[in-house]
Amino acid sequence: MKQVLPLDPATYQRHAIHGGDRIWAETNCYVDVWIELLHALGHEPIAALPFTFAIDFEGDQWTFFKFPLLDLYELYGLDVQELALWRPAVAHLEEQVGRGRPVLIELDSFHLPDTAGTAYRTAHVKSTVAVMEIDVAQRILGYFHNQGYYRLEGDDFVNVLRLDRPRDDVVLPPYAEFVKVRERPERDLVATSRALLRKHLRLVPRANPFAAFRARFERDLEHLLDESLDTFHAYSFATLRQYGACFELSATYLQWLAANGEAELDEATRAFLDIAESAKTFQFQLARAMARRKPLELAPLDAMGERWEQGIGALRSRFA
């Protein structure tokens, strides 16, 4: 067995961000994996959330938000490098995990037992996991995925790493990264995080992204009302879930700053929580509208845009 840390799925305690009181239980696979990986490595992942304020509507989706790798280095001394898969993936996993380095790799959820009830053995869905242990002889893989830590074995091990078939040059290898721990000077975590907040506030869109999203959503709704439930899930994931979950993390970050002595954050915190809650409600309303083939009132998007202006305005006034 090669291990980065001695973790047990039965006793692993997930981070509070993945607790039962959240508006959005999950964010996206990459961010969720990093939250738990940082937590397991002994770091506070909330300190790395300033990037969430700078997301934008990108025309056909909201920003698929991710932890910036430079921020992870600045805060925790973690150096993330791309892993070139020139051998079978299993060989690289064994090598890097054996060096004490977590490996983030895209795998097919069809073979990930923690997705039972959604994708496991029913749908082929690409998802990022962080591999923390591997035993090739016993066919065991331990990994972070979504909200927790899991272990797969046997046929799932063989299938998810494609050990049962010859190398196929037509099938592209998955994207993979490994994490090196660098020695960093002692830094004040809150002060470093606050500096990152100022940096990311400079990257916030100049124009209110909700105005552009509302205009595009109104056009999209014309064909969405004739689409299937599968289309709803795909559309919602790329739009409502992305910004809803992201801005809930923004509020979580501001609550953490307040707990660490930062004042005058209540207005912005409430604004971003309101967006997260409204996005969740609007998602349900869109699902009902598509099921009934009936129009949808768009006023909630206007209200979310107003709350964005208030929240970002308050932060710019506080940290300019």
pLDDT at 320: 77
Q: Is the pLDDT of residue 184 over 80?
A: no
pLDDT at 182: 86
**The whole model's pTM is what?**
0.94
Kindly report, residue by residue over 18-36, the tens digit of the pLDDT.
998 999 999 999 999 999 9
> SS3 string of 112-131?
CHHHCCCCCCCCCCEEEEEE
pLDDT at 139: 97
pLDDT at 144: 98
pLDDT at 108: 95
Q: What is the mean pLDDT of residues 92-99?
A: 98
How far is residue 136's CA from residue 189's CA, in Å, rounded to a whole number?
38
Q: Is the pLDDT of residue 165 over 80?
A: no
Kindly report, residue by residue over 255-267, the tens digit of the pLDDT.
999 999 999 999 9
Kindly report, residue by residue over 47-79, the tens digit of the pLDDT.
999 999 999 999 999 999 999 999 999 999 999
Kindly report, residue by residue over 266-316, the tens digit of the pLDDT.
999 999 999 999 999 999 999 999 999 999 999 999 999 999 999 999 999
What percent of the chain is predicted at pLDDT more than 70?
99
pLDDT at 167: 73
Sequence letter at residue 280: K
How far is residue 58's CA from residue 39's CA, in Å, rounded to a whole number?
30
How far is residue 248's CA from residue 50's CA, in Å, rounded to a whole number?
12
Q: Is the pLDDT of residue 187 over 90?
A: no
Kindly report, residue by residue over 246-256, the tens digit of the pLDDT.
999 999 999 99
Q: Is the pLDDT of residue 168 over 80?
A: no
Q: What is the mean pLDDT of residues 82-90?
A: 95
pLDDT at 61: 98
The mean pLDDT value of the chain amounts to: 95
Higher pLDDT, 182 or 201: 201
